[in-house]
C-alpha cells in the first residue's frame, strides 16, 4: 500500500487549506508534517479533524522529528515548496539519500526555476493547464542549458478541484448580490484586482457591490456603492452565502480557489480573460486592457489588467437578471471535472506511475543525451545502493548507460568513482569489494557491458 507523507503549513492560508484538503480526503496520506508558519499560528479547524495524521514541528532544527516523519514512507508531497529550512535540513536531498520519491504541486508564479530542491524534485502535479505548459516549457529550457531537471519526464495533471460535499449547491435565481472577495488583497501587488473593481464601480454608481476583506489592502477611495465588510467569517461556505455572482478581476492566480469554490456553491463567476483564470469554465470573461512584466520575489511574471469599463458594462448588463441556468451550469461544471476527491485519486495514481516510469522511456524519443541526466541516474543508483535497494540501483545504472558520455568500460569506472565520492561525502567510505561482489552488480556488468560487446 502506497504511503505518502505530506509536508506543509497548517495555517489559515491558501496552501494551508490545500494541505488540509489533501490530508482529509486522501487515505493514502499517512502523516502530515506541519511546520510552524513564520507569522501565523496553526489553524485548529485544519489541525483537529486530522489530528491522527498531524505532526507539528518547528520550521528549523527539529531534525529528529523530520527524520522520524520520513520513516516508512514511499513518497513525500509538498505544495509549492518543501517548507523546512533547507540550511538545516534539505528535505529533497535527504529523501534522495533514503530512496523516498519527492512530489511537488507547484504554483507557476512562485516556482524557483533554478534552485537545488526545485530541480531535484522527482515529479510535479500541475493544478492548471497554464501551469503544465509553463512547467513543460521550463523543463525543455533547463535541459537545453544542461541544467538539472529530475522531473522532466514526470509532469502530470492539469487541474485541481473542490470538495463538493463541503461546498453545497444553492441555486441562484437573480443576480442581485454582486460579491468581490478581496481576502488579504493578494499582497502588495493587490493581485485580486481591487483597483480594477474600484474604477469599474465608479462607472455604475447605482449598482451595489459587496467587498469582503481581511485587511485594508485596497484603494483608500472606494466608491460609495462598494460596501466594505471586514468580518472574519469562520468558513468559506459562509462567505459564498453572501453573494449571487462572484466578481474576480485578478491580475494573476496560481490556481484561484475561489473561482471554483464559488461555482460549486452555485455562483456564476466573472473573471479576467487571462490564464489561468480563464480556465475555470465561465463564459463571463473580462477582456485584458493591459499586460506588463511584474517582479514577484525576484521572478518576472506577466501581470494582466482586466478592462474596468468592460467589467462595469458586464455588471450593469447582468444586474437583476435571471441566472438560474448559469448557476446550475456552474455547479454541473464542478461536478463533471473538478471533484477534488477524483483529482486526488488521479494524483495518487500519478505518483504510483511516476515511481515506476523509466526516465529514458519518457524522453528517449526526444533524442536527449544529457550529461546531467546521466549524472542524476548514477547519483540515484548510489542512493539506492546506500539504502540496500539493489533492484533500483540496477535499473538506474542500466538507464544511465543509454545517456552516458563515456565508452561502456569507462562508464563502469565512472560509476565506481561516483559511488566512492558520494560515500565519502556521506561519511561512509565505500567498500568496493562488497559492492563488486554483489550479484546485482555482477549481473549488470555481464548483461549490459560484457555481453553487449560480444
CA-to-CA dists, residue 138 to 108, 155, 210, angstroms? 10, 11, 40
φ/ψ of 189, rounded to 5, equals -75, -10
Residue 367 pLDDT > 60: no
Report the C-alpha gap between 379 and 119 in whole angstroms.
14
Question: What percent of the chain shows pLDDT beyond 70?
Answer: 95
Specify the range with the lowest mean pLDDT, choosing from 131-135, 422-426, 445-449.
Answer: 445-449
Taking all residues of the chain, what is their mean pLDDT, rounded to a whole number? Answer: 90
The domains of the chain are located at: 4-161+344-356, 178-338, 364-453
DSSP 269-306: EEEESSTTGGGS--SEEEPEEEEEEEEETTEEEEEEEE
Residue of 274, 213, 280 whose CA lies nearest to 249: 274
Report the C-alpha gap between 158 and 113 in whole angstroms.
19
Looking at residue 377, what is its pLDDT?
87
pLDDT band at 322 (very low <50, low <70, confident <90, very high): very high
Q: Do domains 4-161+344-356 and 178-338 have the same CATH topology?
A: yes
CATH 3.40.50 fits 4-161+344-356, yes or no: yes
Which one is predicted more confidently, 210 or 371? 210
Specify the range with the lowest mean pLDDT, choosing from 6-15, 197-206, 356-365.
Answer: 356-365
Residue 449 pLDDT > 90: no
Residue 360 pLDDT > 90: no
Looking at residue 57, what is its pLDDT?
95
Looking at residue 369, what is its pLDDT?
44
What is the architecture of the domain spanning 178-338? 3-Layer(aba) Sandwich (3.40)
Looking at residue 370, what is its pLDDT?
64
Looking at residue 368, what is its pLDDT?
45
How many helices (H) and strands (E) are present in the chain, helices listed first? 18, 15
Residue 302 pLDDT > 90: yes
Q: Model confidence over 238-272: pLDDT tens digits?
A: 999 999 999 999 999 999 999 999 999 999 999 99
Residue 230 pLDDT > 50: yes
Residue of 323, 26, 375 whose CA lies nearest to 174: 323
Grid cell at residue 172: 441562484
Looking at residue 232, what is its pLDDT?
82
**pTM score, whole prediction:** 0.83
392-399 LR contacts (CB < 8 Å, sep 24+): 392/99, 393/440, 393/441, 394/440, 394/443, 394/444, 395/358, 397/444, 397/448, 398/444, 398/448, 399/358, 399/359, 399/360
Amino acid at each position: 500500500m502506497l504511503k505518502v507523507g505530506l509536508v506543509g503549513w497548517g495555517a489559515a492560508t491558501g496552501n494551508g487549506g490545500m494541505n488540509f484538503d489533501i490530508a482529509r480526503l486522501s487515505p493514502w496520506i499517512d502523516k502530515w508534517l506541519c511546520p510552524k508558519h513564520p507569522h501565523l499560528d496553526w489553524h485548529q479547524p485544519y489541525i483537529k479533524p486530522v489530528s491522527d495524521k498531524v505532526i507539528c514541528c518547528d520550521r528549523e532544527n527539529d531534525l529528529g522529528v523530520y527524520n522520524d516523519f520520513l520513516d516508512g514512507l514511499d513518497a513525500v508531497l509538498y505544495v509549492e515548496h518543501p517548507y523546512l529550512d533547507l540550511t538545516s535540513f534539505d528535505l529533497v536531498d535527504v529523501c534522495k539519500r533514503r530512496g523516498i520519491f519527492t512530489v511537488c504541486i507547484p504554483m507557476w508564479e512562485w516556482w524557483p526555476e533554478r534552485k537545488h530542491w526545485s530541480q531535484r524534485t522527482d515529479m510535479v502535479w500541475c493544478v492548471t493547464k497554464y501551469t503544465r505548459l509553463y512547467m513543460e516549457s521550463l523543463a525543455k529550457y533547463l535541459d537545453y542549458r544542461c541544467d538539472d531537471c529530475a522531473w522532466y519526464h514526470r509532469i502530470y495533471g492539469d487541474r485541481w478541484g473542490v470538495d463538493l460535499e463541503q461546498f453545497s449547491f444553492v441555486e441562484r435565481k437573480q443576480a442581485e448580490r454582486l460579491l468581490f472577495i478581496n481576502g488579504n488583497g493578494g499582497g502588495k501587488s493587490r493581485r485580486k484586482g481591487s483597483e480594477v473593481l474600484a474604477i469599474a464601480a465608479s462607472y455604475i454608481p447605482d449598482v451595489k457591490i459587496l467587498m469582503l476583506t481581511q485587511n485594508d489592502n485596497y484603494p483608500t477611495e472606494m466608491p460609495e456603492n462598494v460596501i466594505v465588510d471586514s468580518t472574519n467569517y469562520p468558513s468559506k461556505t459562509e462567505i459564498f452565502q453572501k453573494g449571487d455572482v462572484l466578481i474576480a478581476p485578478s491580475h494573476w492566480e496560481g490556481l484561484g480557489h475561489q473561482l471554483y469554490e464559488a461555482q460549486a456553491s452555485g455562483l456564476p463567476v466573472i473573471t479576467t480573460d487571462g490564464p489561468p483564470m480563464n480556465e475555470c469554465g465561465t463564459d463571463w470573461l473580462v477582456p485584458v486592457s493591459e499586460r506588463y512584466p511584474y517582479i514577484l520575489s525576484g521572478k518576472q511574471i506577466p501581470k494582466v489588467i482586466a478592462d474596468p469599463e468592460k467589467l462595469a458594462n458586464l455588471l450593469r448588463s447582468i444586474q437583476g437578471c435571471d441566472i438560474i441556468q448559469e448557476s446550475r451550469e456552474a455547479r454541473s461544471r464542478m461536478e463533471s471535472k473538478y471533484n477534488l476527491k477524483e483529482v486526488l485519486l488521479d494524483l495518487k495514481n500519478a505518483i504510483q506511475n511516476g515511481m515506476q516510469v523509466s526516465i529514458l522511456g519518457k524522453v528517449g524519443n526526444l533524442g536527449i543525451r544529457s550529461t546531467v541526466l546521466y549524472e542524476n541516474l548514477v547519483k540515484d543508483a548510489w542512493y539506492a545502493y546506500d539504502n540496500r535497494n539493489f533492484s533500483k540501483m540496477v535499473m538506474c545504472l542500466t538507464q544511465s548507460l543509454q545517456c552516458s558520455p563515456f565508452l561502456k568500460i569507462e562508464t563502469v569506472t565512472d560509476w565506481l568513482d561516483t559511488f566512492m565520492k558520494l560515500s565519502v561525502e556521506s561519511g561512509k567510505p565505500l567498500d568496493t569489494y562488497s559492492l563488486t561482489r554483489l550479484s546485482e552488480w555482477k549481473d549488470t556488468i555481464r548483461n549490459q557491458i560484457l555481453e553487449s560487446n560480444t
